[in-house]
Amino acid sequence: MDVNLSSEDLAFQQEVRDFLQNNAHDPKTDYAQWRLNWFELAKAKGGWDVPKWPEAFGGPGWSPTQHYIWEKETAVAQTPWDLPFGLSMLAPVLMNYGNEEQQQRFLPDIRARKVNWCQGYSEPNAGSDLANLKTKAELSEDGTYYTVNGSKIWTTLAHIADWIFCLTRTSDTGKKQEGITFLLIPMHQEGIEVKPIITLGGAHSVNMVHLTDVKVPVENLVGEEGKGWGYAKGLLAHERTGLAGISRSLVALDHLRIQASGVKRGNATLLDDPAYKSKLAELEIDLLATEFTELRSLASAANGAEPGPESSILKLKGTEIQQRIQKLTVEAGGIYSAAWGKQPVGHSFAKGGMAGYLSSRAYTIYGGASEVQKDVVAKNVLGLKKAK
């Protein structure tokens, strides 16, 4: 694949670099205010605040190469933190399946980063087998609201979310995928309880969410009742593409080389060790191959195609690569990676490396476990059929 940049692409790359450099955060200023200002400035550039949104909804209408440049440059630069749930996951669903009233109601606040969303998919007995979900939504006799009862698990950032987009069961007849309905539910109301789950890395990012007799107005139904499985699959394709984190991994791999070059091994460094060097080289080859798959996916998107089974390849390989980077970071930290406490011991990156490694165990589970992705690839990419 030819990835040589044209003169127009090089000019765009320089424009992006100038924007990122001129609007980088000054540590002496308030971060929260800088963050909001940054997105406003990006919006004024012509939709740079929502780079993946289509032009019809205020996005920049970039070519695949421009998207590629943006991802690479922002991975290196100091850009403000952003949450994917509203911008990259719910927004495409609303654009494709929501009615005009819902688009006008929710998309502006999502774009302005005024409202935090979380994802209500997985349940205690419906993780990889998501269609097995049991959270029930019953329509009232007058047809004005649903009453929702059930539990969701591994709900990322539910403790700071204002809303949850939630898969619920409205029918138990027919195939289990056919009775699933997509609802938008305010978090701050009676009947919703959020309980923290502390991860291996010691962080509070995921939660258990219990819904008891929660009332949801019927106007918060996205699309048609019972059609939520199709919407959910589209959302997961967008999520899996984002979870691959190719550009971030390229930057992380560069950082890993720098860290390894500072670890002494006899008269040389860890970066000179043949065994470690071989692992880095193998990792880089796999990362570059995955990057080209991402470029092909971008090219398809530019022609109007929705993310397809290639998103499963990206999610599968991208998250495995992230785990391998974390593992090699722990290896570079050596015995110091085992130290646990408030202060790092030995190499400055060792403590964070171990925390990152522990957290990375979930990468190949959330957003669709690797086993599920392999099934998708086998069926939809390789054309394999189940044995009878």
User: How does pLDDT run across 270-302, given as a tens digit for each residue?
Assistant: 999 999 999 999 999 999 998 888 877 766 665
- Residues annotated catalytic, as ranges: 239
Higher pLDDT, 251 or 208: 208
At 272 the pLDDT is: 93
Residue 152 lies in a domain: yes
Report the domain count for the chain. 3
What is the rounded average pLDDT for all residues in the chain?
Answer: 89
Residue 2 lies in a domain: no
How many helices (H) does the chain have, and how many strands (E)?
A: 12, 9
Same domain for 120 and 145? Answer: yes
CATH number, domain with residue 303 = 1.20.140.10
User: For the segment 144-196, what is each residue's pLDDT rounded down to a tens digit?
Assistant: 999 999 999 999 999 999 999 999 999 998 888 889 999 999 999 999 999 99
Q: What SS3 class is residue 388?
A: coil
Residue 233 lies in a domain: no
Domain of 276, in residue numbers:
244-380
pTM for the complete prediction? 0.84
Query: What's CA 65's distance to the chain center, in Å?
Result: 21
Cβ proximity of 196 and 159 under 8 Å? yes
Same domain for 187 and 251? Answer: no
Same domain for 315 and 276? Answer: yes
